[in-house]
Amino acid sequence: MENQSKQEIKNSRPYGRSAGYGRNRQNERRFEERRGGSKGASSAGFKAHQEGHFRNSSVKSIGEPSTSEQEPKVTQESKVEQETIYGRRPVVEALRSGVPLQRIYVLKQAVGVPKEVFTMARDEGIAVVHCDRNRLDFMCNHANHQGVAAIKAARNFNTLEEIMDKCRQSDYAPFLLVLDEVQDPGNFGALLRTAEASGVDGVIVTSSNSCSFTSAVTRASAGADQHMLVARVPKLGSVLRQLRSENYTILGADSNTDYDYTQVDYNGPT
Note the pLDDT tens digit of each residue in 25-38: 444 444 444 444 43
Q: What is the pLDDT of residues 174-190, one digit of tens each?
A: 999 999 999 999 999 99
Give Dmax over CA atoms of the chain in angstroms.
Answer: 66
pLDDT tens for the chain, 270 residues long, are 444 444 444 444 433 343 333 434 444 444 444 444 433 433 444 444 444 443 333 332 223 333 444 444 444 333 334 578 899 999 998 898 888 888 899 998 778 888 889 999 888 888 899 999 899 999 888 888 989 999 876 678 899 999 999 999 999 999 999 999 999 999 999 999 999 999 999 999 998 888 888 878 888 998 888 889 999 998 899 999 999 999 999 998 888 888 888 888 889 999
Same domain, 171 and 43: yes
Looking at 152, 179, 204, which one is the last position of a domain?
152
Residues 31, 47: Cα–Cα separation, whole Å: 15
Same domain, 259 and 177: yes
Same domain, 198 and 141: no
Name every residue whose Cβ is closer than 8 Å to that of residue 86 and which is 6 or more positions away in sequence: 139, 140, 143, 144, 145, 146, 148, 149, 150, 215, 219
Is 268 a domain residue?
A: no
Same domain, 201 and 88: no
Looking at the 3D structure of the chain, how many domains does it have? 2
Amino acid at 175: F
Dihedral sign for Cα atoms in the order 141, 80, 85, 189:
positive
Record the pTM. Answer: 0.54
Residues 117, 95: Cα–Cα separation, whole Å: 8
Interaxial angle between packed helices 3-11 and 236-245, expressed in degrees from 0 to 180 and rounded to the nearest 10: 30
Same domain, 137 and 24: no
**CATH no. for residue 230?**
3.40.1280
Same domain, 199 and 144: no
Domain that holds residue 104: 76-152
Same domain, 23 and 51: yes
CB environment 214-247: b (16+ within 10 A), e (fewer): bbbbbbbbbbbbbbbbbbbbeebbebbeebbeee
Same domain, 25 and 103: no
